[in-house]
Amino acid sequence: MLPSNMLSFEVKVEPQVVGTGANERGRGDAHLRRRAATLASLIALIALVVAALFGDRGMLHLIAQKERAEALAREIEDLRAENRRLASDIVALKRDPGAIERLAREQLGLARPGETVFLIREGAASEGP
């Protein structure tokens, strides 16, 4: 036992949670910053993907332009074929009198003197007398 005139003190030990305090707050802020950066990166990535697909120079626009270019190329080829045909008709009309006669008979309904022209109408055959 201790004498009554002596000073006494008591030591009390309390458990402490490691990591609490300023250091832990710094880690929490770093974690929050990392999550914010990840979210911002994800949003930027989504925006880039959307722009790459649907923008003025996106994939869908590129596909539509490619289809349009193919259609125009087909149209150009058809027009060139028609130009070649018309050029050959011009040459034939300049050199061959038979071509002129054929054209006059087919398109104008002309005939030589003494010939009789018969016109057959397809709609008249189905009608009754």
Mean pLDDT is lowest, of 89-93, 113-117, 125-129, for 125-129
Is the full-model pTM beyond 0.85?
A: no
| pLDDT > 70 in the chain, percent | 80
Domain spans of the chain? 24-54, 62-110
Q: Are 110 and 104 in contact (CB under 8 A)?
A: yes
